[in-house]
Amino acid sequence: MTLSRRTHPRPLDVKNGRVDLTHGGGGRAMAQLVDELFVAAFDNEVLSQGNDQGAFNVPGGRMVMSTDGYVISPMFFPGGDIGSLAVHGTINDVAMAGAVPIGLSAGFIIEEGFPLADLERVVKSMAAASKAAGVPVMTGDTKVVEKGKGDGLFITTAGIGMVPPGIDISGDKARPGDVILVSGSMGDHGVAVMSQRESLGFETEILSDSAALHTLVAAMIKVAPGIRVLRDPTRGGLAATLNEIAVQSGVGMEIRETDIPIKPQVMGACELLGLDPLYVANEGKLICICGPDDAPALLAAMQAHPLGVDAKVIGICDQDPHHFVRMKTAMGGTRVVDWLAGEQLPRIC
């Protein structure tokens, strides 16, 4: 769950309004729903941290907990499926606090008539992903709904992890002068999923980047325990995630278009579909913000890890009361990189 301190021009119309697809798109509409309904109702200190995981003290240290629902369509896509995604996504939300993931839960909501063979394929993929990551699924739940009351299969996973002593990573810790890094190319997951949508009919060799990032995070913490912010740019892509952090930390940002890694095939697919790759989801990439002194060592450590080979420094945080994320374009001009308005890609995770 992502939230941040911000005001919205018009309050949520709870009396007459209805949930529409923009409320799940990772943009401002979703942020408003989360802020004004969920956070307001659940109101507590841990939730108010506004991160993708909640951190809290327990005897013997600091723990984090995170949960995520997976409704992706299509269920199987190049480079992964709903099962592996449900494992990677939640491990990543735990890892973005710098935590070592301990275990997962998995809840299945299955529609009557769903082929058992597909269910087996998904579950085996989840098991393989969890085994490879070394994070076991420790508990679970199964529900079946009548035909027509669900779309095949939805999965919810939750994860817990322990934060190593001395680590304090949170979305509100970016400061002017801090350096912004990304761990690799942007937009691969969203484009891989889109290419499988039957209505689009184009082929691409792009694979989803779906991966568990906790070992990359461990390698980064080793060289720079003072990392300020980590977050995985999933729904809403790089643009939405940077905007969340800018508001949460109360800073502005300036990034450079020419330094943002994007694969040519992803760029091509986005061109055809009228999408901006900065808004397309990733499932195996992270954004890191650190003090300027930590940046060189961090970049080297990221590039030395198989999941961070293409890591780059893409910009800096600065002082800006409006918390704009600005981008120097390749043309030499400047523009705002705004929140995503409306839904760009529905059901991408």
Partner 1 sequence: MKYIDEYRDGDLAQQLARSIAAEADTGRTYHLMEFCGGHTHAISRYGLEDILPANVRMVHGPGCPVCVLPVGRIDAAIWLAGQHSVILCTYGDMLRVPGSKRLSLLKAKAEGRDIRMVYSTLDAVKLAQANPDRKVVFFAIGFETTTPPTAVAIKQAQALGLTNFFVFCNHVLTPSAIAQILDSPEVRTLGTVKLDGFIGPAHVSTIIGSQPYEYFAEEYQRPVVIAGFEPLDVLQAVRMLVRQINENRFEVENEFSRAVTRDGNAKAKSLVAEMFELRKSFEWRGLGLVPYSALRIKEDYAGFDAERQWDVPKDSPPDNKACECGAILRGVKKPTDCKLFGTICTPENPMGSCMVSAEGACAAHWTYGRFRDTKAQEA
CB of 320 to partner 1, least distance (A): 8
Three-class secondary structure of residue 21 per DSSP? helix
Minimum CB distance to partner 1, residue 178 (Å): 19
Q: Given the complex with partner 1, which of 22 and 92 has the nearer CB atom?
A: 22
3-state class of 216 per DSSP? helix
Rounded CA-CA distance 27/17 in Å is 18
Q: Tokens for 74, please give them.
A: 């299509």
Minimum CB distance to partner 1 smaller for 16 or for 142: 16
CB of 111 to partner 1, least distance (A): 20
Q: Is the Cβ of residue 139 or residue 334 nearer to partner 1 in the bound state?
A: 334
Q: For residue 96, what are its two tokens?
A: 């973005």
Residue 83 φ/ψ region, left for φ over 0, alpha for ψ in the -120 to 50 degree band, beta for the rest: alpha
Cβ 334 to partner 1, closest distance in Å? Answer: 5
- The two beta strands, 179-182 and 229-231, are unpaired
Footprint on this chain of partner 1 (rule: CB under 8 A)? 9-10, 18-22, 27-29, 32, 199-200, 258, 264, 267-268, 271, 273, 322, 324, 326, 328-336, 338, 341-342
Kindly report the number of other CB atoms within 10 A of residue 218's CB atom.
15
Q: How far is it between the farthest Cα atoms of the chain?
A: 57
Cβ nearer to partner 1, comparing 134 with 342: 342
Closer by beta carbon to partner 1, 39 or else 267: 267
Give the shortest CB-68-to-partner 1 separation in angstroms.
Answer: 23
Which residues are CB-contacts of 189 (< 8 A; sequence separation ≥ 6)?
A: 79, 208, 209, 210, 280, 281, 282, 283, 284, 348, 349
Shortest approach of partner 1 to residue 316 CB, angstroms?
16
Q: By C-alpha distance, which of 11, 38, 42 is closest to 24?
A: 38
Which CB atom, from 10 or from 146, has the smaller least distance to partner 1?
10
